[in-house]
Structure 1
């Protein structure tokens, strides 16, 4: 259970649960001493300040139970997104809004709703009118530990929170009852730390007795959840942008996506091995030590009539040193009209450059044809080669000397196999499988950039 929701389990119905306050928590109806408006008190034993909802006058509970007027005001009532004394069920308990406080930092106002339950105490429901996001908070005991680093961070109960923003917050409006002395104009320095969807807010208030620190653990609430909890009509205010504590579903799903990706890759690997193991790779034709001065024409049978198969053609030239060889291969169906043709070039080059040896090419080149119809074919091959190093060849005007390190191919070979496994098809799904977690990572990173653009550390 997280900090924001850690609570004592409600006792069984037959046992009377203990109260949290010395005085019996009760509901009393009194009148404002300034305007005569009705005031309903809920947690009388704990409150220190009452703000008249009608006129904004400040009152203080006396030991006798009466209210004493502290400051007479005449401000108009301001409607909030949730009304005073509205009741809602959150975290399995029924809460009542007993106080409403509007606060603001430069360019960012928010509304705080003080929730009260006689068995669970107080909670703080915060709403930002600017972006429509909600959070639920609870005062926590103890102090989080500070993490050294460039960006201020803290840890609390094993979770690390990064500093999001710090500013002076002013109270601009208040109504209802509060367990602290509140009035319009109150100032507190607020530092917010985020580990979405959780956060910690540390308020620092300077007074005559020194500095008072209040630490509140928060968690993000969905607007629809709040609206249902308080049974409000219509739809909640639309959420805009990425709030400080708004969940990042892309990052939350990252681990499961990578795990699923690993499972798919393993399953695909075994599937590929199974399919590759069933490939017969039957040799249809093979000829070696062929001369370049003559072409090849041979009838071959590929596959079974009425079916299709994959065909691999391999062309090899030897020797091949800083030279090339080429073969034009044509498969002409004896019982058909559409021929299959391809050019195959084998080349091998090497040398030294800047004191380092290099090489490229290969004496053998392979080409795989997919979905070749079964039947009889006439295989025709016309070979060509690099003749620059042959005896009697003088492309550079060097007499009978061939270029140093150059050998023209003397023989060539050809092999044809059917029912071979297409490796390219085995590799094709890999980037698709990896694409899902990578896309989630990119979208999660984009969402975080939007979130932190509103912080003291825009990226």
Structure 2
């Protein structure tokens, strides 16, 4: 490089070259020395061309003066490369209101890079030399880094304010820009009648930028979704779908394993006769047998209660008490059936069923005395009151309802995340004229 010798790889000399603004005589500092093509005064906003015999005054770019969040001269390490901030520009998209800020970064070995901020979203850009599509300006998608980059924006920029030094003449630049996105990356093609270049941008979190350049001021608030802001690095839709699929397979294997260990042991399968108390219309309690309930593979067991009764246009129910003869603890459940049938408008209809079942969970092993308290509807027209009922008790049956609930919850996570991903991407493309989503 001209003008200085590198004393340490990757670092600029500590003292910059001092020059004076030809307009207001304000001292200016040049960190890039002979690399600079133009320099903007931070006092009068005059942009001067850097020539061998000094600075030649040019246009002013002070219509929207802003203080850079990252001061000129700040240093920060990005991708293991130490950069110095040497320039700051406020851009406006021609014919539109969109504005963004761009910091020019310089390293004497690796050259120039750029850090852009738009609506609180930060993107780090570097020139790339291993990709070129020539002057193809109407391409809707590109492939680079094994990714598909989709056309996002086309525009020309207008400088609203600048300070610091630049490797190009910023007031004379009439380049057109075309942006392609594949979050968290962006390919930017800039071209004019005499020159073209490609840059690769990568999303940076505001916290990372703040830490990199030791920024003490509040960071700009993020608005909407950035052009290359990733949906989620740690909880992406693809990751959740993959984990959900693995979890569903494991859940099924566990269910099959538990199914093979279930006993399905019938403890009771008996038909009981009901007796009505004289003059009261209620049914007499029925003493049941004594049962020995064992343990399951997981310890406490479940108990399936199956009830059937010959009901027609009526109902029948019975309370079932299981009394542990050793501990005195009682487990109670009431099950009932109802069945109705008839004709209406020439068609037969039915409602209910003469059979039902219910599950009692977490029954400890032990000896249990069974007590039954049946009940039925009083006599009504067109009914046949049941005189008997069948009760079946089965120990340690497989319960598929828990499996289906767990599977539903596992499946709901990718569905919810998929919807969030869809709305996130749709919001990203709201600022693009090339959105793949239908606009309302």
Q: 1:199: how far off? A: 0.8
Correspondence 1:269 to 2:252: yes
1:193: how far off?
1.9
Residue of structure 2 aligned with 1:200, choices 187, 191, 212: 187
Q: 1:178: how far off?
A: 2.0
Structure 2 distance, partners of 1:367, 1:35, is 91
User: Equivalent residue for 1:451?
Assistant: 428
**Of 43, 48, 51, which aligns to 1:59?**
48
Change (3 A) 1:383 1:416: farther
Deviation of residue 251 (structure 1)? 8.2
Q: In structure 1, what is the equivalent of residue 201 of structure 2?
A: 218
Q: Is the partner of 2:33 in helix, strand or coil?
A: coil
Question: 2:290 is paired with a residue of what secondary structure?
Answer: strand
CA distance in structure 2 between the aligned counterparts of 1:139 and 1:308, rounded to whole angstroms: 67
Match of 2:370 among 360, 374, 377: 377
In 2, Cα distance between equivalents of 1:343 and 1:75: 85
SS in 1 for 2:419: helix
User: Does structure 2 retain, via aligned residues, the 8 Å contact 1:49–1:182?
Assistant: yes
Structure 1 length-normalised TM: 0.70
* Residues 25, 43 of structure 1: 8 Å contact kept: no
| Whole-angstrom distance in 2 between the partners of 1:223 and 1:420 | 56
| CA 27–226 in structure 1, closer or farther in 2 if over 3 Å, else same | same
TM-score, structure 2 normalization: 0.73
Q: Does 2:293 correspond to 1:301? A: no
Deviation, 1:341, is: 2.8
Q: Distance in 2 between matches of 1:114 and 1:304?
A: 79
Partner Cα separation in structure 1 for residue 397 and residue 370 of structure 2 = 18
In the TM superposition, 1:49-448 aligns within 5 A as 49-62=38-51, 65-71=52-58, 73=60, 78-105=66-93, 106-128=96-118, 131-141=119-129, 142-144=131-133, 152-183=140-171, 186-205=173-192, 210=193, 212-249=195-232, 253-287=236-270, 299-304=288-293, 309-315=301-307, 328-332=317-321, 340-344=333-337, 365-370=356-361, 375-379=368-372, 414-448=391-425
- 1:131-164 CA-to-partner distances (Å, cap 9, x unmatched) read 2221110122332598999xx3222232112222
Q: Shift in Å at residue 280 of structure 1?
A: 2.7
Going from structure 1 to structure 2, the CA distance change for 1:300 and 1:279 (only over 3 Å counts) comes to farther
Measure, in 1, the Cα distance between the counterparts of 2:290 and 2:29: 97
Q: 2:280: which partner in 1?
A: none
Paired with 1:180 and 1:33, the residues of 2 have a C-alpha distance of 19
Contact 1:101/1:175 (8 A) holds in 2: yes
2:61, 2:159 within 8 Å by CA — same for their partners in 1?
Answer: no
Task: Tell me, in whole angstroms, the C-alpha distance in 1 between the residues paired with 2:207 and 2:251.
Answer: 41
- Flag the 1:39–1:279 CA change in 2: closer, same or farther, 3 A: same
Question: 2:158 is paired with a residue of what secondary structure?
Answer: strand
- Any gaps of 5 or more consecutive residues in structure 2? 1-6, 277-282, 343-349
Change in Cα spacing, 1:239 to 1:340, as seen in structure 2 (3 Å) is closer
Q: Structure 1 residues 317 and 331 mapped into 2: Cα distance closer, same or farther (>3 Å)?
A: closer
- Secondary structure at 1:375 match in 2: strand
Q: 1:325 and 1:421, CA in 2 relative to 1: closer, same or farther beyond 3 A?
A: farther
> CA offset at residue 170 of structure 1?
1.0
In the alignment, the residues of structure 2 paired with residue 89 and residue 79 of structure 1 have an alpha-carbon distance, to the nearest angstrom, of 22
Change (3 A) 1:361 1:70: same
Compute the RMSD of aligned alpha carbons. 4.6
Shift of 1:213: 3.0
Number of aligned pairs?
400
Mapped contact 2:337–2:355 kept (Cα < 8 A): no
Q: Aligned-pair distance for 1:71?
A: 2.4
Whole-Å Cα distance in 2 between the matches of residues 348 and 269 of structure 1? Answer: 40
